[in-house]
Amino acid sequence: FSFPFQNQLVIESVTKPCIITEVPEKEVRIDCDEPGCPVLIARDSSVQPSPLPHLGWGFSEDVWMKMVSKEQNYRHSKSFMQKHPRIQPRMRSILLDWLIEVSEAYTLHRQTFYLAQDYFDRFMLTQNNIEKGVLQLIGITCLFIASKMEEACPPKLSQMAYVTAGTCYEDEILQMELIILKELRWNLCPETAVSWLKLYFQMASMSANSDLLEPQFPQDAYVQMTRLLDLCILNINSLDFQYRVLAASVLCHFLQQETVEKISDVIQPCVNWMAPFAESVSQFGRATLRDFVRIKDDRHNIQTHTDYMTMLDASLKEVNRQGL
């Protein structure tokens, strides 16, 4: 499968074969006790060799096993929509788009937004009959929790309440925070889609004997990739895929054909699903690496907002046209 678009040219310098390979692996069933939640099949990380390079601070096999095992413990599924008949998929898209905008306004990191997205989707899976009027409170509370997990200087509670324009009060956010933490059982450290993307791109860009923890990839190329990932995560159907599959599919859409060693049958459906979104992103031109006050070296990791809803509408129009 191939899909021609302009973005592919941004990573011509990346020549190391992609780590996404089809290897014989055992399968582990992940049974979900939530009604309507599909049974997921996960790869057994004890069988799949770790693609991580030698680490001076730990064993690569242990680190890789820990990362992959998190996907068994942090489940997400679009089936939560069946539990909330008054909520439509577009409401989720609008909420996440707004959280991206808030993240940029407070100069929050990409990981912070993706943590909030994960908290929101997993929390909704634990609930029933949530009213649409409560979505903003849930969303801003998830971002409040995520910022305290990820940011060195997280926004104050008053700042989080302020951006809701009087819709959510401070005491309501604090009360919702306790509810969410209890329902998530304080499991707040998933490997997010953006953390997988950063790892994959780092590994594809590394030279021999380079440090995994030191960024090796071009920042401009990274922001092109994250824009596609941002757009995809707004769509409810992105929850059909594991986060690492989403990240790998984004990478496959940007790397040159000869750079990708082999795309497995696990990745291919997501690559195909993502194609209209990649085409939509390319039609809006290149993303720019923005400047932020007091932030220089880390600016590519700051979450930025663009006209994602227009991009999403264009993507869904193409999806409907193709009957995907």
| pLDDT, tens digit, 9 for 90 and up, residues 187-235 | 999 999 999 999 888 877 766 666 556 666 678 889 999 999 999 999 9
Q: Which residue did the predictor score with more confidence, 291 or 14?
A: 291
pTM (2 d.p.): 0.83
Instruction: Give pLDDT, residue 205.
Output: 72
**Is the domain of 176 the same as that of 203?**
no
**At residue 60, what is the residue type?**
S
Q: Is residue 317 located within the same domain as residue 257?
A: yes
Examine the domain organization and report whether 203 and 160 are in the same domain.
Answer: no
- Please write the tens of the pLDDT for every residue from 137-182: 999 999 999 999 999 999 999 999 999 999 999 999 999 999 999 9
Task: Please indicate, yes or no, whether residues 197 and 148 belong to a single structural domain of this protein.
Answer: no
pLDDT score for 208: 61
Is 64 domain-assigned? no
In a domain, 229, yes or no: yes
Q: Is residue 63 part of a domain?
A: no
Q: Select from 183, 199, 226 the last residue of a domain.
A: 183
Residue 30 phi, psi dihedral angles, 5° rounding: -110, 100
Residues in a beta bridge with 41: 29
Side chain identity at residue 270, one-letter code:
C
Are residues 27 and 132 located together in one domain of the fold? Answer: no
> Do 176 and 196 reside in the same domain of the chain?
no
How many domains does one find in the chain?
2
Considering the domain architecture, whether residues 171 and 230 belong to the same structural domain is answered as no
Q: Among 166, 183, 200, where does a domain finish?
A: 183
CA-nearest of 247, 306, 300, 304 to 274 is 247
As a whole number, the mean pLDDT across the chain is 83
- 29 DSSP β-pair partners: 41
Domain membership of residue 218 (yes or no) is: yes
Same domain, 27 and 106: no
CA distance 80 to 78: 5
Domain extent at residue 126: 78-183
> Within a domain: residue 251?
yes
User: At what angle are helices 243-254 and 268-283 packed, to 10 degrees?
Assistant: 60
Mean pLDDT is lowest, of 28-37, 103-112, 241-250, 284-293, for: 28-37
- In a domain, residue 217? The reply is yes
- Top pLDDT among 258 and 183 is at 183
Domain termination site, one of 163, 183, 203: 183
Do β-strands 27-30 and 40-43 pair in parallel, antiparallel, or remain unpaired? Answer: antiparallel
Task: List, as one string, the DSSP characters of 105-147.
Answer: HTT-BHHHHHHHHHHHHHHHHH-SS--GGGHHHHHHHHHHHHH
Residue 39 in any domain: the answer is: no
Confidence at 31, pLDDT banded by 50, 70, 90: very low
CB atoms within 10 A of CB 186: 9
Report yes or no: 216 and 205 within 8 Å, Cβ to Cβ: yes
Spatial neighbors of 209 by CB under 8 A, at least 6 apart, are none
Residue 11 located in a structural domain: yes
- For the beta carbon of residue 67, count every other beta carbon within 10 angstroms: 17
- Whether residue 216 is found in the same domain as residue 238: yes
Same domain, 111 and 203: no
Phi-psi group of 187: left, alpha or beta (phi > 0 → left; psi -120 to 50 → alpha; rest → beta): beta
The predicted pLDDT at position 209 comes to 65
Question: Is a pLDDT exceeding 90 seen at residue 56?
Answer: no
| CATH number, domain with residue 296 | 1.10.472.10
Whether 126 and 226 share a structural domain: no
Q: Which residues pair with 292 in a beta bridge?
A: 295
Q: Are 219 and 176 in the same domain?
A: no
User: Which residues fall within 8 angstroms of residue 323, CB to CB, at 6 or more apart?
Assistant: none
pLDDT higher than threshold 90 for residue 66: no
